[in-house]
Chains A and B, each alone.
Chain A
Amino acid sequence: MTVALETRGLTKTFGGLTAVNAVDLSIQEHSIFSVIGPNGSGKTTFYNCITGFYEPDSGEILFFEKPMTGLPPDQVTARGISRTYQNIRLFANMSAIENILVGEHSRMRANWFEAILLTPRVVREEKAAVEKARQLLSFVGLAGLGDQQARNLPYGAQRRLEIARALASQPTMLLLDEPTAGMNPNETHEMTLFIRRLRDELGITIMLIEHDMRVVMGISERIAVLDYGAKIAEGTPAEIQGNPHVIEAYLGSGAASGIKPVARQLE
């Protein structure tokens, strides 16, 4: 198995606050990897470092063994990493299908001059892009809603559209930021199945930030736990559930000793 994404000593500080503190991770290709941690533990900052929104202060990011530390976001996308956002960030006034077409931007070539001339190549490219966007729409279960404005779609559909948009750039790795936030148990279950399909059918490596422990424990192969920016634990779901450091991070010191037996009983 090859390593898809690797970080070595990744650190990001804001003034005196170390948001991400020397994080080492390595994520296997075709795996589902979750990052968990209490609020403010640096998960989203970690994502922002990987996707080029922030430049890390030190450390390295390798994607399929090629360094990509400090690349701007558009280049990161071109390399094959795509992401979704904690609070949905669709292009609200554009139609669903246009959102996906924007996602295909980095895979299309037409420049302004060709676009004005409407060369046969541009026509072909555009046709293929729209066809692919339609396929992605039906893949995420939004067939027939393509001409709706993104902002008019129901919440769950917006989440799925955001994933479709991320998929449009043909990523080899997808970073999901709380994909089930604000969903009811039923929708959450569907999303869990959907994430697994992404990996099984499209072969995409998935990294996931998630607070819903049922989702995390249900679909992750490995889990890393961040607390105050530092990685405090990594392992399989079973290992993480029993890890006293993790329980301490979530429930406070002191709780760990008492909770531990309870946690065992639950298993």
Chain B
Amino acid sequence: MKTLFRNSLKTGIVFGIITVFLFLIGFTGTAANLLADLLHNESAGLFLGLTPLMLNTAIFLGLIGLWAGVSGASREQDIPGDPFGAAALGGAIAGVAHGLPVGAAVWLIGGLNEQGVAMSTYLAELLPAAVHQFLLGLAPMTAGIFYLLFLTTAGAAGGLLNRVLGRGSRKTRAAIRNRLRESVESLPVLQSLRKSTAGRYAVYGVLLAGLLLLPLVAGQYWNYTIGTVGIYVLLGLGLNIVVGLAGLLDLGYVAFFAIGAYAMALLTAPTPHHLMWNFWLVIPIGIVLAAVTGILLGAPVLRMRGDYLAIVTLGFGEIIRILSKSDDLSDFTGGPRGVPAVAPPDFFGLPINNAIGFVYLIFLAVLLVIFVTNRLQNSRVGRAWEAMREDETVSRAMGINTLLQKLLAFAIGAAFAGLGGALFASRNQFTGPEDFNLMVSINVVAVVIVGGMGSIPGVIAGALVLKGLPEMLRQLEDYRVMVFGALLVVMMLWRPAGLIPSSRRKMEIGRDAGLVETAEEGRGK
């Protein structure tokens, strides 16, 4: 019983501190806005005399309280006789420990607010209105007591919920999960889909059809976001070859993106050169230019390993950006003002300048790049890259010309970025130096690492999470960096190998020398 108290207490206190912190930085208000948008429960609060935002603040706090109760009770593993009573008690104890600091903070801050102390001088988000909202319009002491009771109740409910969910012990949880997975996997539909080639293609077909229909139903704004995610998938897949497969940490990857974009911009725009070439002609030029730059940069620096390579490439990325910004070169590059009126692609004479057309174009590019990556990864070349990543010295002794293979990886990665850059410039109909700052490189590295190094589905998941999710959570705009950091930390603990880690193909017992097998299948067996 003693440990039950101690662990629940500890959990409650941690939740209390976090909740107070969230209140102080104004996150509770943002969350209430978000909930209001999601739930559309404007009318529900009126019965209680609450504004919609107050109601949703309370709902948010209630959810946190539930969560505190669930984790507070799950610390206790086996209580003979009365599991529900013990869980409720554990949850309630966590709730009290959660409610005390929150209640105290509410009382204190509410009191100060009533005295007219301008707390927003110290904490920008603590405006009187925000405090008033958090207090649900109650007097400070009443609100404090309300939160204590509310969170205690929520904690107890969370404790019960914990038992209902079967989260009581690790073993039961694992058992339930296994049973679920088995029952899903034994569904005859899935079985036959996995076995027959036709079935597998049917699944791909459905997915593809979904992808093709998506831009038609998504609005202008979402198509733009999908396009951005797609371009990051292109960049991620390119860097995935360099970092994920060949193990070369390139922090200046944005340079190749910029070269693709500037190739498209300078060759198709009316200023500064008045060349106005055709989009389709410039796409391969952008790709080849980026690849050649990759080789030119790679030749001298690829002898370096690890950190040194990262620093040199970091510098290279900045050099390209600063050159593109330079006033001296502005006759050639457009300088700091960038290049406007980049040409859109045309489709048999019809210009594609709407978001839908571009989404399809980017899909096409992504599919092409996935195809190429997949072929390379499962070939002699891909194995050589992975061997270099694992142990460069030994891979040389295995007969791999490491310098050549590194250059190849660099060039192909750069080519993908060049393609991405060319599409990017054409879609935005503009290109300027500020599109290519260091954060782009860092973001792409994050996409690869968060998604799972060396894994194609991982890169897609990474781009969706890091580029798509922030758009979906527009309300969280101010907290993006915080959430991003928290996400990275959580991910490193929870999935150190990435969201969808690369899986090894089964080859020894595979049919047809394993050539037709895909990674997904290998995992299923």
A binds B: yes
A positions within 8 Å CB-CB of B? 51-53, 72-74, 76-78, 82-83, 85, 89, 91-98, 101-103, 105-106, 108, 110-112, 115-118, 122-123, 125-127, 129-131, 133-134, 137, 144-147, 149, 165, 169
Q: Which residues of B contact A147 (CB under 8 A)?
A: 504, 506-509
Complex formed: what's the CA distance from A123 to B387 in Å?
21
Cβ proximity bits B382-406 to A, threshold 8 Å, 1 near / 0 not: 1110110011011111111110000
Supply 16 further A-B pairs (C-beta < 8 A) apart from A74-B399, A91-B394. A73-B397, A73-B399, A74-B402, A76-B397, A77-B397, A78-B399, A85-B394, A89-B391, A105-B380, A108-B380, A112-B412, A116-B372, A125-B380, A126-B515, A146-B508, A147-B506
- With both beta carbons as reference points, the residue of chain A lying nearest to B404 in the complex is identified as A74
Partner of B397, one of A53, A94, A108, A116: A53
Q: Check B508–A102 contact: CB distance below 8 A.
A: no
Closest 7 pairs between A and B when the two form their complex, measured CB to CB? A106-B399, A146-B508, A115-B379, A77-B399, A91-B390, A127-B513, A130-B513
- Establish whether residues B390 and A92, one from each chain, have CB atoms under 8 Å apart when the complex forms: yes
Chain B residues with Cβ below 8 Å from A89 are 391, 393-394
Which residues on B sit within 8 Å (CB–CB) of A51? 397
Given A85-B394, A144-B508, A147-B508, residue A110 in contact with residue B379 (CB < 8 A): yes
Contact at B381–A115, with CB atoms within 8 Å? yes
Residues 501-519 of chain B: 1 if any A CB is under 8 Å from the residue's CB, otherwise 0?
0001111110011110000
Which residues of B sit under 8 angstroms from A96, Cβ to Cβ?
508
Cα(A85)–Cα(B384), bound, Å? 19
Contacts of A82 in B (CB 8 A): 397
| Cα–Cα, bound, A149→B393 (Å) | 20
A131 → chain B, closest Cβ, in Å?
7
- B375 at the A interface (CB under 8 A): yes
Which residues of A have CB within 8 Å of B384? Answer: 102, 105
Contact of A115 among B376, B393, B394, B506 (CB under 8 A): B376
Residues A131 and B396 in contact, CB atoms below 8 Å apart: no
A169 touches B398 (CB 8 A): yes
Given A110-B379, A112-B376, A118-B375, CB of A83 within 8 Å of CB of B397: yes
The interface residues of chain B lying within 8 Å CB-to-CB of A118 are 375
Does A122 lie within 8 Å of B507, measured CB to CB? no
Residues of A within 8 A of B379 (CB): 110, 112, 115, 122, 126
The one of B393, B398, B401, B506 in contact with A165, judged by C-beta atoms closer than 8 angstroms, is B398
Question: Which residues of chain A are within 8 angstroms of B383 by Cβ–Cβ distance?
Answer: 94, 98, 101-102, 105
Name the residue on B nearest A85 (C-beta).
B394
Checking A74, A101, A129, A146 against B396 with a beta-carbon cut-off of 8 angstroms, the contacting residue is: A74
Q: Which residues of A contact B394 (CB under 8 A)?
A: 85, 89, 91
User: Which of B400, B412, B512 touches A102 (beta carbons < 8 Å)?
Assistant: B400
Which residue numbers of B lie inside 8 Å of A, CB to CB?
372, 375-376, 379-384, 386-387, 390-391, 393-402, 408, 412, 504-509, 512-515
Contacts of B505 in A (CB 8 A): 95
Q: Are A130 and B507 in contact (CB under 8 A)?
A: yes
CA distance A118 to B381 in the complex (A): 12
Q: How far is the CB of A96 from chain B (nearest CB, A)?
A: 8
- Jot down 21 A-B pairs with beta carbons below 8 A, ordered by A: A52-B397, A77-B398, A91-B386, A91-B387, A93-B390, A94-B383, A94-B387, A103-B398, A105-B383, A105-B398, A110-B379, A112-B376, A115-B380, A116-B372, A122-B379, A125-B380, A126-B515, A129-B380, A144-B508, A147-B504, A149-B504
* Contact status A110-B398, CB under 8 Å: no
Provide the bound-state CA to CA distance between A95 and B160, in Å: 46
Instruction: Tell me the bound Cα distance from A125 to B378 in angstroms.
Output: 13
Contact A95 to B380, CB < 8 A, known contacts A112-B412, A116-B372, A127-B515: no
Shortest beta-carbon distance, A237 to chain B, in Å?
29
**How far, in angstroms, from A103 to B397 measured CA to CA in the complex?**
9
Nearest CB on B from A264, distance (A): 42
- Complex contacts, A53 vs chain B, CB 8 Å: 393, 397
Q: Are B507 and A146 within 8 A (Cβ)?
A: yes
Instruction: Determine if A98 and B375 form an interchain contact, defined as CB atoms under 8 angstroms apart.
Output: no
Give bound CA distance, A134 to B512, whole Å.
13
User: Bound state CA distance, A101 and B507, in angstroms?
Assistant: 11
Write the nearest CB–CB distance from A23 to chain B, whole angstroms.
21
Which of A72, A94, A127 is the one whose CB lies under 8 Å from B504? A94
A110 to B508, CA, bound (A): 21
B507, A110: Cβ atoms closer than 8 Å? no
* B387 to A, closest residue via Cβ: A102
The answer for the CA separation of A215 and B504 in the assembled complex, in Å, is: 37
Distance between Cα atoms of A89 and B382 in the complex (Å): 19
Cβ–Cβ contact A94 & B514, under 8 A: no
Decide yes or no: A106 and B398 within 8 Å by CB, A115-B375, A115-B381 being known contacts.
yes
- Chain A contacts of B376 at CB under 8 A? 112, 115-116
> Complex: how many Å from CA A127 to CA B516?
11
Q: Separation in Å of the A148 CB from the closest CB of chain B?
A: 9
Write out the residue numbers on chain A whose beta carbons fall within 8 Å of the beta carbon of B402. 74
Which residue, of A89, A91, A123, has the highest number of chain B Cβ atoms within 10 A? A91
- The answer to whether A94 and B401 have CB atoms under 8 Å apart is no
Q: How far is the CA of A105 from the CA of B489 in the complex (A)?
A: 39
Q: How far is the CA of A130 from the CA of B509 in the complex (A)?
A: 10
Which residues on B sit within 8 Å (CB–CB) of A137? 508
Contacts of B412 in A (CB 8 A): 112
Residues from chain B with a CB closer than 8 A to the CB of A130 are 507, 513-514
**Chain A residues, CB < 8 A from B512:** 127
Pick from B375, B382, B396, B515: contact of A73, CB under 8 Å: B396
> CB-CB < 8 A to A112: which residues of B?
376, 379, 381, 408, 412
Q: Which residues does chain B contribute within 8 Å of A123, judged by CB atoms?
A: 515
CA gap between A118 and B509 in the complex, in Å: 22
Contacts of B398 in A (CB 8 A): 74, 77, 102-103, 105-106, 165, 169
